Amino acid sequence: MDTAKKLKHMYIAIAGNIGSGKTSLTEILARRCHMATYFEESDNPYIGDFYENMNRWAFNLQIYFLGSRIKQAREILAGNSDLIQDRTIYEDANIFADNLHQMGLISSRDFDTYMKIYDLAANLLPHPDLLIYLKASVPTLISQIQKRGRAYEMSIDEHYLERLNKKYDHWISNIYKGEVMTVNIDHEDFVMNPSVLDRVVARIEALRAKQTPSQNR
């Protein structure tokens, strides 16, 4: 049963593959729209080991990320400010954990355990008012990953990114039930082209305008 509470403040989320620009867009929109920020855990202690040995560390990595998302969910529910989140708990399960399970890197027993914990947490939090999906081809992702220069990401395989891209497209088209705005980073660079950013901001402000006075904070 869905026991999610209705938030009194606006909840915007940024979704997208590794290197798609989620953190950059989160930071920019937070400044433009005066919103609180929730970023993905960047110092997951398993992430370097994971890229060296995915089979050994996949479950540990995903459980740590899930715990971080649950902590954020509690903070979001307790807060009273409009907010923007860099990646959602839904992606952790439906994209990353599911992909690792399908690749044979997380056992079915471990995946079932993970999903039981995920289901409990996901039902506490309502869907974002708007999910902004940053869609990008693998060459664009690789280019942006190389530019930011995180050592543990230099060994990411192109086929791994392609698998994630396919899962994102399937999730957006067939699974996710909330409102979605897609930005194709290959053609709509929000850093280099201000009109792209203006369009995203306009969408957010239009949603704000629809809220009742008691919801708009």
Mean pLDDT of 24-43: 92
Domains and CATH numbers, the chain: 11-210 (3.40.50.300)
Q: DSSP assignment of 127-184, as one string?
A: PPSEEEEEE--HHHHHHHHHHHT-GGGTT--HHHHHHHHHHHHHIIIII--S-EEEEE
Q: Cα 120 vs. chain centroid, distance in angstroms?
A: 18
> What pLDDT does 191 receive?
87
- Residue 216, pLDDT > 50, answer no
What does the pLDDT look like over 109-160, one tens digit per residue? 999 999 999 999 898 888 899 999 999 999 999 999 998 877 777 778 899 9
Burial level of 88, CB count in 10 A (0-12/13-18/19+)? Answer: buried
- Residue 204, pLDDT > 80, answer yes
Mean pLDDT of 1-18: 80
pTM exceeds 0.75:
yes
Number of CB atoms found within 10 A of residue 38's CB: 23
86 a catalytic residue: yes
> What pLDDT does 7 receive?
78
Catalytic residue (one of 2, 43, 49, 86): 86
3-state secondary structure of 6: coil
